A and B are shown apart, each in its own frame.
Chain A
Amino acid sequence: MTVAIIRFGGSNCDRDTLRALSHLGIDAEIVWHEDGLPEDPSGIVLPGGFSYGDYLRAGAMAARAPIMEDVRGAADDGTPILGICNGAQIGSEGGLTPGAFTTNRSARFQCEPVFLRVENADTPWTAAFDVGDVIEVPIAHGEGRFEIDADGLSTLQENDRILFRYCDADGEISEAANPNGSTDSVAGVLGTDAHVAVMMPHPERATLPDIGGTDGAPVLEGFR
């Protein structure tokens, strides 16, 4: 049983994710999108990067690749799926999760460490945490501002589908601690089931001890 990390043209966090999962002892392989999903993957990662140059909208092209039909099918069958950064944009564009990720409030690319507050600990991605726990992981995106209308946000809140929110080191939510202007400071959301999640911050960049913190490792442990 292997986690499939789907590589699109312009993915560039696929190898980082492979290395992070391997470090955790989780079997994973990179899969070129045109080759299709392997049979019965134990999980699927939509990795970060700049698939198709972010043309039209970040993630728009990759989200319409034929393999995404199979990814949606795997989501329905209960396969754990995590979209990270560009993968979050792809998942969102591809209908795996609600809302949209669009241009940062700053109109700039931002690469910096952020704090996240766990909003739902009853998921594979946050099983090691309690609600309210704070982790530090990096972001690296120009189009990470989560947008959803008021009804959509209410639905997310009522169904407990917000996974992470941006916060300060003490776990306080504020506009000052919201790096990109995301609606309700949302940094990660769940699909209709908790085994499907997308998040703009990079847990795979906070897994290997040599490159800083390891706060992202428990998120990737969701594939175990």
Chain B
Amino acid sequence: MTAYTATVTVRLKRGVLDPEAETTRNALERLGFELEGLRSADRFEVDLEADDAEAAAERATEMAERLLANPTIHDYEVEVAEA
């Protein structure tokens, strides 16, 4: 078994309104920054033990499917690295 950290990034699908990101963007513009857009995402770093990176990714993907993301509104990606 090897120690891995699986990073799961969950973001709204393109086209789904993100009012918190809009509010953040407005605040940045009020501070004088110029920007064309802003998107937010949630990142989960999961420490786990697995036989190999593929098994770690598989488990983290299942976590995303079953809890971390809501497939109706979210896309997600999983990256695995040795801890």
Binding site for B on A (CB under 8 A): 56-57, 60, 64, 93, 98-100, 102-107, 145, 147-149, 152, 181
A152 to B, closest residue via Cβ:
B72
* Minimum CB–CB distance for B39 against chain A, Å: 14
Known interface pairs A147-B73, A148-B72; A105-B17 also in contact (CB < 8 Å)? yes
A105 to B22, CA, bound (A): 10
Q: Tell me the smallest distance from the CB of B76 to a CB of chain A, in Å.
A: 13
Residues of B within 8 A of A93 (CB): 70
Report the contact-size class of chain B (Cβ under 8 Å from the partner): 10 to 19
Q: Write 18 A-B pairs (CB below 8 A) sorted by A numbering.
A: A56-B67, A60-B70, A64-B66, A64-B67, A93-B70, A98-B72, A102-B16, A102-B73, A105-B17, A107-B19, A107-B22, A107-B23, A145-B17, A147-B16, A147-B73, A148-B72, A149-B72, A152-B72
Residue of A nearest to B20 (CB): A107
Bound complex: CA A102 to CA B72 (Å) = 10
Contact A100 B22, beta carbon cutoff 8 Å: no
The answer, yes or no, to whether B53 is at the interface (CB within 8 Å) is no
| A103 CB contacts on chain B under 8 angstroms | 18-20
Point out the residue from B23, B66, B67, B72 that lies within 8 Å of A100, measured CB to CB: B72
Q: Which residue of B lies closest to A104 (CB)?
A: B19
Interface positions of B (Cβ within 8 A of A): 16-20, 22-23, 66-68, 70, 72-73
Q: Which residue of B lies closest to A100 (CB)?
A: B72
CA distance A102 to B67 in the complex (A): 15
Interfacial chain B residues near A105, Cβ < 8 Å: 17, 19
Q: How far is the CA of A175 from the CA of B72 in the complex (A)?
A: 22
CB distance from B32 to the nearest CB of A (A): 22
B75 to chain A, nearest CB (A): 12
Please determine whether B67 and A60 come into contact, CB atoms closer than 8 angstroms: yes
A152 to B13, CA, bound (A): 15
Q: From residue B64, how far is it (CB to closest CB) to chain A in Å?
A: 12
The minimal Cβ–Cβ distance linking B14 to chain A, given in whole angstroms, is 11
Contact B19 A57, beta carbon cutoff 8 Å: no
Contact of B72 among A60, A64, A99 (CB under 8 A): A99
Tell which of B16, B18, B68, B72 touches A56, judged by Cβ atoms closer than 8 Å: B68
Assembly CA distance A152 to B71 (angstroms):
12
Interfacial chain B residues near A100, Cβ < 8 Å:
70, 72-73
Q: Which residues of B contact A57 (CB under 8 A)?
A: 70
> Which B residues touch A102, using CB under 8 A?
16, 73
- Hey, which chain B residues are within 8 Å of A104, CB to CB? 19
